[in-house]
Copies of this chain bind each other. A is one copy, B any other.
């Protein structure tokens, strides 16, 4: 499958540095889908740096994609293109989005996956309809290859998003319940579960610190409650606890996380996505 040369796009590419394209999908690494996407990208943008964020998202999990994409993108160089594909609606009429924020570009299906990006005031969003930047033949089931990869490659080359489609007023936005911060308690929610079974919530460290500043609660006096369990005090690291002990810690995602030292908190507690975690001042539960 030779992809048509595209002098104009390549010329833009040679005028700028190697661009980074990140890939975040639920395609897995076993079936060649990701390899083929990279082949398509390299035919259009031969010097792009392609970085896998992950292809092992839980199948069809927009929640997991949404969490990881929001967290990851800002660690990459400005000018990066982020391809995010969890796409249960592939082949239906769902739209293709290009978003821009803080010098980063995103391409994703219009299914809510980009909600945290699109809710930011500075974000711009386009409805990609210009099939000049797609492959010639579009399958019903693999837009990752036929639409998203060529789009990302042309974006990385420097083609403007506005060339690819018009601004969009009504992208699909998911309702994502934010943490509810009361004077003596916080309701937060499990938003991601990592490989070790750690339960990552939506409570970030800054919000927690501010809350403590107002109510005077120390880290040791902080209670973490869920189901019928309680964790007394936050830990500073996994290493603080003995193997098998449950702990709550601000983690590498900079979010409050429920973990079991050397163990699997999700499997042990049975907590899943969206589960409620309550934070309290000791004595105020």
Query: Which residues of A does B touch, CB under 8 Å?
Result: 1-2, 17-18, 20, 22, 24, 27-36, 38-40, 42-43, 46-47, 49-57, 59-60, 68, 71-72, 74-78, 80, 88-92, 139-142, 144-145, 192, 194-196, 236-240, 249-254, 257, 262
Q: How many copies does the complex hold?
A: 3
Pair A59/B239 contact, Cβ less than 8 Å: no
Pair A91/B250 contact, Cβ less than 8 Å: no
Pair A35/B53 contact, Cβ less than 8 Å: yes
A sample of 27 inter-chain contacts (CB < 8 A) reads: A18-B47, A20-B42, A22-B35, A22-B39, A27-B195, A28-B194, A29-B52, A30-B56, A30-B57, A30-B195, A31-B195, A32-B53, A32-B71, A38-B51, A42-B77, A60-B262, A89-B239, A90-B238, A91-B239, A92-B239, A139-B252, A140-B237, A141-B250, A141-B251, A141-B252, A141-B257, A142-B253
Pair B145/A31 contact, Cβ less than 8 Å: no
Interface of A is mostly: loop
Determine the chain B residues whose CB is within 8 A of the CB of A27 once the complex forms. Answer: 195
Determine the chain B residues whose CB is within 8 A of the CB of A50 once the complex forms. Answer: 51
Determine the chain B residues whose CB is within 8 A of the CB of A72 once the complex forms. Answer: 32, 35-36, 39
Pair B32/A1 contact, Cβ less than 8 Å: no
Q: CA of A140 to CA of B240 in the docked complex: distance in angstroms? A: 11
Query: What residue in chain B is nearest A58 (Cβ atoms)?
Result: B30
Determine the chain B residues whose CB is within 8 A of the CB of A57 once the complex forms. Answer: 30
Q: CA of A189 to CA of B78 in the docked complex: distance in angstroms? A: 48
Determine the chain B residues whose CB is within 8 A of the CB of A77 once the complex forms. Answer: 39, 42-43, 46
Determine the chain B residues whose CB is within 8 A of the CB of A76 once the complex forms. Answer: 39, 42-43
Known: A75-B39, A75-B40. A140 touches B249 (CB 8 A): yes
Pair B139/A90 contact, Cβ less than 8 Å: no
Q: CA of A20 to CA of B40 in the docked complex: distance in angstroms? A: 12
Contacts A59-B262, A141-B250 given; 15 further ones with Cβ under 8 A? A1-B75, A17-B46, A18-B46, A24-B35, A29-B29, A29-B54, A30-B56, A32-B68, A32-B71, A35-B54, A35-B75, A42-B76, A50-B51, A90-B237, A92-B240
Determine the chain B residues whose CB is within 8 A of the CB of A42 once the complex forms. Answer: 20, 49, 51, 76-77
Looking at the complex, which one of B28, B60, B75, B91 makes contact with A236 (CB distance below 8 Å)? B91
Pair B18/A74 contact, Cβ less than 8 Å: no
Q: CA of A272 to CA of B55 in the docked complex: distance in angstroms? A: 24
Q: CA of A101 to CA of B262 in the docked complex: distance in angstroms? A: 32
| Nearest CB on B from A139, distance (A) | 6
Looking at the complex, which one of B54, B78, B141, B249 makes contact with A141 (CB distance below 8 Å)? B249
Pair A141/B237 contact, Cβ less than 8 Å: yes
| Nearest CB on B from A197, distance (A) | 10
